[in-house]
Structure 1
Amino acid sequence: MLGSMPAASVPPPLRGIARFDPRKRAKLGGAPIAAQLETDKKFRELVAEAVSSGWPELVASLAEGTVPPAAEPVLVAAAAYLTRPPGWVDMVEAARADLEQSAVVAEGSAQEQTLARLREQLAAQKAAAKEEADRLREQLKSSRSEISDLRRRLHDARERARAAEARAAEAQKEAEEAKSVAASAGNSTESELRRLRERLADAERQLEAARRAAREGRSVEDTKVRMLLDALQDAAAGLRRELALPPSIHRPADSVASVTPGRQGAQAVPARALADDDPALLDQLLALPQIHLIVDGYNVTKTGYGTLTLADQRTRLLTGLGALYAQTRTELTCVFDGAELNGPVPVSAPRGVRVLFSSPGQIADDLIRQLVRAEPVGRAVAVVSSDREVAESVRRMGARPVPSALLLRRLGRG
């Protein structure tokens, strides 16, 4: 009401309060406004006019000396104080009494509600406490049962531990007895072993004496045979020179069609590795007379040093095969796939090593099979390849397959 009054009508002490927010004005301006109403009759009359225009029925009833039964006590007291009808003091006092009675009734109702709420909370807490007590009883019962079970298990474990200790003591006793028996048996075995070694040494001495006697007896005959062989070799060499024969014989592998180094070639197929075989196999095969060793070139190089270029792979393998020929004088043929070659391949074949490339449209596996088929029946032929198909096919043709790892190990041994 104060904020809506014209500025000229607002008393000077209340003009600052008139600019307050309504909530702030109600909180901070109550006492100054009440004091101004008490001392400023004109201001009170202005406010009374505003109340009369706002609540005309209430003001009319108060002017007649009647208080409406449904009117709020606070509003009745304010209207009576401002309009000052006859008996307004009694009206204000009656309103104050109604307010006090209403406050007492409200306080009693609030206390009853609070008491009821507290009773409900107490009942809920009692129920929760009862549930918690029941739960704790169940847990206690379960814990007692678990403790009883654990005690029983502990007793059983102790019994088993005692039995195990007894068995361990018995086993230790048996082990000591067995050790004593083994020691006595070992002593007798060592004595027997010494006797056998002495007998073996005597037998070896007798065998060496017999061999020495046999060598001395054959020395004259061996000299005669050696002289005859030397004469035959010299005669054969002279006859070869006289007839202008080629220095070496034509072997079956020389008749197989292939691409020689330096000509157009075709592509390689990677090999599949097999498990290693007996390391002594290759040495036994190389010791056979007139054996022909056929090598699947790229299968060996890609097994041993596949990170190198193809040219470096070929060079490293052929160098090793040349050294192998110098040691064993075995006929060696190394076969390479030719499908990947885009031009002539500069390959320097070592002495005693035949180097072949498969023709266009042909893989090295087929060329290896042709080499095996070209050999006469009964000749020893070995094929070095870890390709399963190649190994199975040459085995059916009578050749002996050898894993690539064995040749690599033999070349590395030198």
Structure 2
Amino acid sequence: MDEQQGAGIEHRHLRSALEFAILMAAEGQKRKPALPFPKDLKPLFNKARLPNSALGRLRRCIEGDPVFRTRLSAGALPELVDEIGQLWLAGDEGWELQASVLASVADAAVEDVGLKTQLKRAEKRREAAEQAAVRAHAELVLRDEVVQMQSSEIDELRAELVKSEEIVFEIRTELLDVRMDVRHARDREAAAEAKWVTANDQLTAARRQPALQQPALQQPVLLEPVLDNSAEVAAAASAARALAEQLEALLLAPTATEGETSQARDNQPINRTPVTLPGGVIGSSSEAAEHLARSDAQMLVDGYNVAKLGWPNRLLERQRAALLDALENLARRFGTDVTVVFDGASIVGAYADRRRLIRVVYSPEGVIADDVIRNEVKRLPKNRAVVVVTNDAEIVRDVRADGANVVPSNALLAIL
């Protein structure tokens, strides 16, 4: 009956009494005569701490030996056995009710201690979180300052880039003007040489004729101006030739040193080699246009030829803007090196059309965009692949002779 009533007390509440029982049994066997104790206690003598799994078995052994339990109760001191253990060992009537009350109080105390521990841990976590938040805020402020500083630097670099692009544009325009001057100088040189040859031939023929057969040349003084004129023509031809050579050298001189320039020219192939298309790809198709746009070739676009075909119902200025937007997107997608050429640098909005990812060129006064494209193809190194986008048959013929690939305007529009 006592065991059934005490079954409501959990084994863990009797730990002090059970450990006391092991201690008394171990000391009792050293006496003579030895103190009797349940034999199941002996394997637990050397345990530093009773395992939870052995509490129930040990409790049943002691409750099954009333004599040993009574001896334990007689020697149970408050310093060794808590109040619940003393009540259990004594086994007086109503002990289980008192033990239950004490067990509830003990559990509440343990729970209270657990809550306090959890609160302390939560407080520490909160403090750590606040410190982390402060550090994160400080890092964010520092990062914002760095970003602002970098943004300022980027703005300065962009401003410098815009200035550089303006300078490059002006230089390229001047180079185009010089190139046209070279062409005109060569034309004047050829005309002067032809005039000089004609005058020299006339003079030679006149000298070979007998005096009776040249009544118009009775006075030799009439031939002297021809000789003087020939000398002037020859001098003019020589000066024109020297000017042409100087201008040509200026146009072809890169930023590298003279030795590097000579070496680069020596390493250039004589003829430009067009980019090879994949098997089965037609040169006038959109597939060919995309393949060439993805290559490292320089792409030259006949601006109005493409713009008027792509956006025929818009005003000229809007056609240009639409084409430039589409070509910038192309350069962004494929990394294409694009130069678009329009007629007339004096048109309204020419300088406003400059873009960051593509080069925009307007032909100088008196020069058409077709000639600018032809000159650009000739100017580029022979080892650099060139792609020209146009539907102009004359440009197609000329640039193909220089080894350039040609893409029809509609093929380019298909991939924009």
TM-score (norm 1): 0.33
Compare CA radii of gyration and give the structure with the larger one: 1
